[in-house]
């Protein structure tokens, strides 16, 4: 029986290995395509970058990129989504929720947002600014910009609930106002102004974001 069973086990093992190898190769190809797309888009701009150029540099067919991403706009969406996940295995949004749920004080929640903003913005801001630059002349990029801003506004409303429902905001502010403060401080335009143009270190930018949100939405400190 053992001599009959062994070939079967070997065949199954080989199939599992082949499948794993194919998945690994596909992931490496995906990473290579996105890395080269980001490089080309940021160096040459959206309009001047072609799918054919990205495919040629990545060593894949144009059809592969269209099948996987649906074209240039799909590549930009994939770059945006990858950047928003942040640098760690756990996506930044999930870590944000975990930190907010575990924090005892509203200042700790806001400080965590500042740190995550300074992690994600260097990755995502160049892509969002690329989208903004292309949106005026390209309908697909205009749609990407709208959906990105709508998604960010929705996320900031989600974040604002931690403060509003926890009773942490100053009198006179409602959920929408707190959301809009968070929306302003998480904007790529603020990062562009302070870090890209004025050369602020990201640590200073992180503190500015956290301090600004706290000053805008938390009750004033009681004098001692």
Burial class (CB in 10 A: 0-12, 13-18, 19+), 82: middle
Final residue of a domain: which of 13, 47, 70? 70
Nearest to 60 by CA among 80, 30, 22: 30
Q: Judge if 95 and 144 occupy the same domain.
A: yes
CA-to-CA separations, 113 to 93, 168, 201, 208, 220, in angstroms, rounded: 10, 15, 17, 11, 20
For the segment 95-148, what is each residue's pLDDT rounded down to a tens digit? 999 999 999 899 999 999 999 999 999 999 999 999 999 999 999 999 999 999
For the segment 167-223, what is each residue's pLDDT rounded down to a tens digit? 999 999 999 999 999 999 999 999 999 999 999 999 999 999 999 999 999 998 744
Range of the domain at 33: 1-70
Q: Judge if 45 and 100 occupy the same domain.
A: no
Final residue of a domain: which of 50, 70, 90? 70
Residue 26 confidence (pLDDT): 79
Q: Judge if 140 and 36 occupy the same domain.
A: no
Residue 166 confidence (pLDDT): 94
> What CATH number corresponds to the domain at position 12?
1.10.10.60
DSSP 103: -
> What CATH number corresponds to the domain at position 90?
1.10.357.10
Q: Judge if 121 and 52 occupy the same domain.
A: no
Nearest to 194 by CA among 118, 83, 135, 108: 118
Percentage of the chain lying above the pLDDT 90 cut: 84
Lookup: tokens for 171: 């009198």
Residue 69 confidence (pLDDT): 95
Domain count, the chain: 2
């Amino acid at each position: 029986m053992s001599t009959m069973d062994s070939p079967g086990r070997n065949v199954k093992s080989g199939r599992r290995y082949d499948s794993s190898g194919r998945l690994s190769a596909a992931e490496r190809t995906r990473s290579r395509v996105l890395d080269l797309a980001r490089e080309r888009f940021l160096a040459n701009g959206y309009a001047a970058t072609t799918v054919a150029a990205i495919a040629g540099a990545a060593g894949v067919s144009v059809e592969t990129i269209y099948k996987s991403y649906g074209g240039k706009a799909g590549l930009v969406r994939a770059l945006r989504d990858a950047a928003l996940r942040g640098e760690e295995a756990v996506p930044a949004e999930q870590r944000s929720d975990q930190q907010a749920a575990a924090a005892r004080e509203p200042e700790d929640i806001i400080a965590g947002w500042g740190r995550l903003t300074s992690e994600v913005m260097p990755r995502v801001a160049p892509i969002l600014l690329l989208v903004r630059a292309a949106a005026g002349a390209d309908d697909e990029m205009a749609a990407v910009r709208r959906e990105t801003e709508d998604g960010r506004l929705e996320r900031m409303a989600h974040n604002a609930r931690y403060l509003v429902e926890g009773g942490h905001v100053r009198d006179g502010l409602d959920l929408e106002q707190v959301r809009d403060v968070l929306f302003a401080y998480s904007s790529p335009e603020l990062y562009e102004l302070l870090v890209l143009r004025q050369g602020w270190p990201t640590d200073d930018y992180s503190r500015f974001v956290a301090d600004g949100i706290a000053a805008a939405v938390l009750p004033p400190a009681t004098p001692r």
